[in-house]
Amino acid sequence: MPGYGHADEEWDLLFESGRQFFIERARLGEVTTYTELNVTLAIELF
């Protein structure tokens, strides 16, 4: 079911991109911000 203007497929892509982003940061031992996450997710959509 689409929500907030995004199709289910987009939500799946955003979820997986966010998951991979956090995994990468954890492997590097780095902290992150919501801004960095949002930029990463925005790049995936456009």
Range 19-46 burial, b when 16+ CB lie within 10 A, else e: eebeeeeeeeeeeeeeeeeeebeeeeee
Give one DSSP letter per residue of 4-28, joined into a string.
TTB-HHHHHHHHHHHHHHHHHHHHH
Q: Contact 18/45 with Cβ under 8 angstroms? A: no
Q: Spell out the per-residue pLDDT of the chain, length 46, in tens.
A: 678 888 999 999 999 999 999 999 999 999 999 999 999 999 988 8
